[in-house]
Each structure stands twice: as C-alpha cells, then as structure tokens.
Amino acid sequence: MLKVTRLATLLFLLLINGHAGLSRAQSTSALSAPKRINKAIELLERGQPIYYTQVNGGGYEAGKALAQTWADYITYNFEHSAFNVSELHEFMRGLVDGGPTKSGHRTPAVVCVLPVAGHDGAMVRANAWMVEQVLSAGVHGILLAHARSPEAVRALVRAARFPMHTQAVGSGLEEGLRGSGAAGNPARVWGVSPAEYRRVADPWPLNPDGELLLGVKIEDRHALEYAEATTKVPGLGFAEWGPGDMSMSFGVSRNADGTWPPVLAEARARVLTATQVAGIAFLNVVRPDDVEAMIDEGVMIGAANQKAAELGRQYTSRAMPW
C-alpha cells in the first residue's frame, strides 16, 4: 500500500499551492474533464508525478502517431538533432489531428530542448530567437541544457514571456520579449483565441494560470556551483541533474554495480535538495524496479518507459486515463 506520507512530494505541493494538509484523496482524485491545456502542469498541481517520452525530430506523421502516447508529455529534442522548426510545426499539427488524448486534452504537452547551452546570459540572449521560434510552433515548454548561471535562466524566462505579464518583473526578472504576432499559430494548436493564448502562455508556477513549463539541466560541475541560485529563478518549473554530462565533467563514471561514485551521488543530492527548497519539480530517470523508491525520494518527473510509468501511476493511485 502506498505510504500515507511522502515528505518530499508534500513539500513540493506546499510550495506550489501555498497551503498545508493536502490529502492523498485530493491529490489523486479523478477529474471529469481537463481543466488546463498543459496536462503535465495539471498533474503536477495535483501532486502527481509525471512521465515523458522523447523524440529527436519528426514531422506530421510522427506527431499524429504520438497523439495517443502513454506519456504525460513529449520531449522534442533539438539539443542533439537538427534545428528544424518547420518540422516541429508539422509535428504539432499531427498531434492536433491525432487528438484529443485519452485524458481529453487537445494534445499531449510538448517540451522542447533548445540547441543552445545556458553557459551565460549573453549566450541565451543572443539566441533568444530560438525561444520565440519553438514557442510559436505551439509547444508547451522549454528545457535549457547546461544551465550554468542564474543569469542564463533569467534570460530564458524573459524570452518566453509576453510583456504584459508582470509577476516578479523588477524582483529578479525583466520585462518579457515576445511580440503579439507570435500568438496566432500556437493559439490554433492550443485551440484558443490569440488573446487567450497571450493570457495563459506564461511560465508556471510563477503565474498560477500559466501553461508553459520551463526547465533546466544542471549537468556539469560549473552549473552545480550555482544549483541553489539557478533553481530559485522565478519562472522555472523543474530541473534535472544530467548524469551523463555530469560524469564527464568530473571525469568519473558509474560504478560497475550501478551505484554512483560519491562525487556524483553528492551532485544529484544537491540538485534534488535545491529543487525541493525552490518548490519546483525534480526530473530523474525512473525504471520499473525503482520507480516507487524514486517517488518516495521526491522525483516528480520521470524519464521512463511505459512499464515504469504504469507502475508509478498505480503507486500514487492516479485515476486513469490520467
């Protein structure tokens, strides 16, 4: 039977919802119809861990084929594939035509990994056009790799926002940069008017009504130095620790028995703790044999296969097709 109390998950809920005493019945209750555009955010708000699958490109047919995916969201990876925004547009169109999802959402949520590294603010600002391009395709979130500084993350958040959204502006953030003309195509993908798109296309949980999920990869020793400050940047919704690149950065590898060398275990623990303190979700690989332990530890986003996701949903008593 699922443990009544999972401290890490409850801490996450307290920080994003601003109240105590949320029962498991509240967090796992079945919903009659979607209340949000972004299924990933809708589940996180209810304290439910979420699970994703990844594609490295693909157009209309790939999108249509994935419209009924088992995953809660799809990562569209530009970090290690060609930056083909036209193909991304077709992918999103395929998702719409293949929908709605079993949960009743128009499409699965899509989070796009940018090909630019977040080494510093100047690098992200110089490539802010990439943020505009992928959001204009209708995706529901962005993941910034190698986020080495809080300044780089603030530049990402700024590039993802319309200027009329003012939460935290002047208190760590600058005015948003997106133009009004950027709303037409993503509004069609989301099934809303351009005005409504501009209203809700803002980072959550900074904006409680926001439908954009922004994340970062803290995946080398340079990024690790700023893990606490980076995860506290207003506008972020999640972070991961990137074990592959973190291993190379420290010049070590996973032990033969599958455990992490102390320096990597400490790096992972530091990022996990930073996300919990900041009140954002922690992303980690989950497998069928460890998904329950990962949930108990506080993992809220799982890089998973379908079996691991099914076991995780059973463990948290998620009412499917949610």
| 91 touches 58 (CB < 8 A) | yes
pTM: 0.90
Query: What pLDDT score does 17 carry?
Result: 54
Answer whether residue 64 shows pLDDT above 90.
Answer: yes
What is d(CA 204, CA 224) in angstroms, rounded to the nearest whole number?
23
Tokens of 320: 């499917």
Residue range 17-46: mean pLDDT, rounded: 66
d(C-alpha 18, C-alpha 150), whole Å: 24
**pLDDT above 50: residue 281:** yes
**Confidence label for 20 from pLDDT (cuts 50, 70 and 90):** very low
Omega into 100 within 30° of 0, i.e. cis? Answer: yes
Q: For the stretch 12-51, what's the b/e string if a residue is b when 16 or more beta carbons lie within 10 angstroms of its beta carbon? A: bbeebbeeeeeebeebbeeeeebebbbbbbbbbbbbbbbb
Contacts of 303 (CB under 8 A, 6+ apart): 51, 52, 54, 283, 284, 285, 286
Per-residue confidence at 224, pLDDT binned at 50, 70, 90? very high
Each residue of 100-135: pLDDT tens digit? 999 999 999 999 999 999 999 999 999 999 999 999
Ranges of each domain in the chain: 7-315
Question: For the residues 231-239, what does the mean pLDDT come to?
Answer: 98
pLDDT at 22: 34
CATH 3.40.47.10 for domain 7-315:
no
Q: What is the mean pLDDT of the chain?
A: 91
